[in-house]
Each structure stands twice: as C-alpha cells, then as structure tokens.
Amino acid sequence: MLVSGSPQRVLVTGATGFVGRALIPALVREGHAVRATTRALSRARQGNGAEWVRADLAVAADVEAALTGIDAAYYLVHGMGGAHEGYRAAELEAATLFAAAAGRAGVKRIIYLGGVAPAGKASEHLASRLDVGGALRRGPVPTLELRASLVIGNGSASWKIVRDLAMRLPAMLLPKWTESKTSPIALEDVLVALTRGLRVPLTASAWFDVPGPEVLSGRDILLQIAALQGRQLPSLRVPLLSPSLSSWWLKLVTGVDFALARELVLGFTGDLLPRDDRYWSLIDHRPAVTFEKAARVALATEGPTPGVSGLFIDLEEAIVHRLGTPRR
C-alpha cells in the first residue's frame, strides 16, 4: 500500500537519457520540485520544469552540490560494456560515492532503475548494473532498486536495435539465443513504477522486478515489429551462431553504438525473466501496455526507418570507406 505524501525536492541523475527525459515532466506534473543533472548543460532540456545543474557523478564535489537540499534521488546513470577499459569498476565507484554523499546530505530515499538478473551468467553490462544496485542498497540511504528488462519506447537504445533488426534485414538468421525469453515493459509503465516509488513504504533497502504483461522470446519481438510495418520477415534458425559472432552483423545493420549492441546480444544468452511481479501490487498498478501497443507508439513517434534498401546503401558506403575509393 502506498503512503500519502506531499511534494518533494527530487534529484534526477541521467536526466538527458531515455528514461530521465520522460521522468522529469511526470514528476513535475505531480508537483515535485525537480533538479536534473547533466555533464554538459548544452544537452539540458530547458523549459521542462526542472532546475538543471552540471555534475559529473565521478566527482565528489559535484555530487555533494547536486544533492544539497534534496529529499529523494533517482539514479538513472549506467555505462555500457566495452565503452572503455575499466568501466565496470568506475560504475561501482561512482555508485558508492553517490550513496555516501546522499547519506551526508540527508537524502531520505534513492530510487535506482537497474536490470533483471539473468538465469545464467550475466554479461559484463548486466553484471555492472546489478553491482551498482548492490552498492546503492548497501549505502546509508534506503534504496529502492527496480529491475526492468527491455524498455520499449522511442529513444531507447535497446528498442532501436531490435527495430533496426526487424526493419532492415531482408531475412533473419535466428541463432539459438533468440529463443531466450524476457518480459519487455513499456516506458509508460516504467514511469508509473518510478514515480510511485516515492510513496512506497521503505525503512530499509529493497529490490523488485518490474515486468511487463507478457513473456516473449527474441524471435517473437523481432517478428512482431516486422509485422507492424507490414513486413513478412523470412526467418531461419541457425543453432551454431554464437552471440559473440552474431553481434558483428549488428554493426552493419544498426546505427546504435556497436559496444551497446554487442552487450544487448551478450546479455540475451539466457532468459531475462522476473522473479515475481509483487511490486505492481505494492503500488496498486497492473501493467496493461502490451509489447505490440508499446511498439506501435514507439514507431509512430519516431522518424522513418531506412529499410532493406537503406541497409544496402550503408553496406556500400562501408565498403567504399574501407577501400578508400570515391563513391560514384
């Protein structure tokens, strides 16, 4: 059961990211005073009701200044495996620093959006997100860790990758790992989980999964996106194609950063399923936005996606660049 609460002074880190950009106006509509952090103020979205401050979360002085006078803080920052050497240690150090600074500042609650724990071995990226959640929960401030798998919405890097795969391939090779299952969730439901997290009774740190209303395989996801765009995507199961090898053709198909795309594939080698869905009962909400509905909304709110012809143009440009010859 949620507790009633008055408007709070809320900090949103990772405010220029996919979830952060959507969370700020949702919090403002509920009457909260929002402070948003970014490492570059040129990326700030002025006029969305937030007070923007520059802060590098690896710098103690920046973190302490950002947390001054704050009641609750959202931690929406995470890196991507392969982005740079030692990123996982850096992520853990930043989370530990943030938790300690929040304690000194008198922050009453931290809310962290993390990732679902896999059934098997975690990829470097997923392991890092779980590490960050653990570091925050071990800190002096009660922390609510919410674990989501694939978040569906325009601007989500994971969404862009699966959309590009479904839209740009003339045919789909389906390695065994595409049979792995997950419970994708619409951005709309993630925002409910995050905003109501301010009113969840919390005396000690805790984590909860936040699954969507369906369980789908990677194959289901790709074929549903293709069908929404009127494409019949021929598919062929290839049991011997490994996730590591599969990630290389993503480099040709999607415009998303390769390190990010590779980590998505490596993280999908086993099922990414919730342990339970009790968080929804706790906040009196039941996610009803299906994958198909969320995908329709995402497709409708983004620009046109280059199809198969766009893929061949990109391949030609890549080959020309590689050979160093001018294109006619």
Q: Residue 146 sits in a domain of what CATH number?
A: 3.40.50.720
Rg (CA), the chain: 20
Asked which of 169-178, 242-251, 260-269, 287-296 is least confident by mean pLDDT, the reply is: 242-251
Residue 161 within a domain: no
Alpha-carbon gap, residue 119 to 296, rounded angstroms: 29
User: Which has the higher per-residue pLDDT, 44 or 317?
Assistant: 44
C-alpha distances (whole Å) from 151 to each of 204, 282, 320 are 27, 21, 36
pLDDT over threshold 60, residue 326: no
- 48-52, 162-166, 182-186: lowest mean pLDDT where? 162-166
Q: Determine the residue type at 301.
A: T
Pick from 126, 166, 157: nearest CA to 266: 126
pLDDT of residue 314: 44
Share of the chain above pLDDT 70, in %: 83
Residue 256 in domain: no
Angle at 117 between CA 292 and CA 282, to 5 degrees: 70
Using one digit for the tens of pLDDT, what is the confidence trace for 202-218? Answer: 999 999 999 999 999 98
Contact between 218 and 165 under an 8 Å Cβ cutoff? The reply is no
- 109 lies in some domain: yes
Axis crossing angle, helix 258-266 with helix 157-168, rounded to the nearest 10: 90
Domain membership flag for residue 69: yes
- Among 33-37, 214-218, 318-322, the range scoring the smallest mean pLDDT is 318-322
pLDDT of residue 308: 45
Smallest Cα–Cα separation from 163: which of 288, 19, 313, 303? 303
Question: CB neighbours (10 Å) of residue 135?
Answer: 22
Q: Which residues contact 325 (CB under 8 A, 6 or more apart)?
A: none
Supply the pLDDT for residue 303.
64
The whole-number pLDDT of residue 315 equals: 39
- Contacts by 195-199 with C-beta closer than 8 Å and gap 24+? 195/23, 195/26, 195/27, 195/30, 196/2, 196/283, 196/284, 196/285, 197/111, 197/144, 197/146, 197/283, 198/5, 198/8, 198/10, 198/32, 198/72, 198/109, 198/111, 199/2, 199/3, 199/4, 199/5, 199/283
Domain boundaries, position 123: 9-153+186-212+273-285
3-state secondary structure of 112: strand
Residue 120, in any domain of the structure: yes
Closest CA to 189 of 269, 308, 287: 287
At residue 192's C-alpha, the angle toward residues 52 and 293, to 5°, is: 110
Tell me if 309 is assigned to some domain. Answer: no
- DSSP secondary structure letter of residue 275: S
| Count of structural domains, the chain | 1
In a domain, 100, yes or no: yes
The pLDDT tens digits of the residues spanning 103-121 come to: 999 999 999 999 999 887 8
Residue 241 has pLDDT above 90, yes or no: no
pLDDT-based confidence at residue 237 (cuts at 50, 70, 90): confident
Does this model's pTM top 0.85?
Answer: yes
Mean pLDDT estimate for the chain: 85
| 13 domain residue, yes or no | yes
List Cα–Cα distances, 57 to 12, 63, 96, 142, 278, in angstroms: 12, 6, 10, 19, 32
Work out the average pLDDT over 38-60. Answer: 91
Q: What is the pLDDT at residue 310?
A: 45
Determine which helix (DSSP H) or strand (DSSP E) holds 92, and give its type and residue range. Answer: helix 87-105
CA 45, CA 168: separation in Å to the nearest integer?
Answer: 31
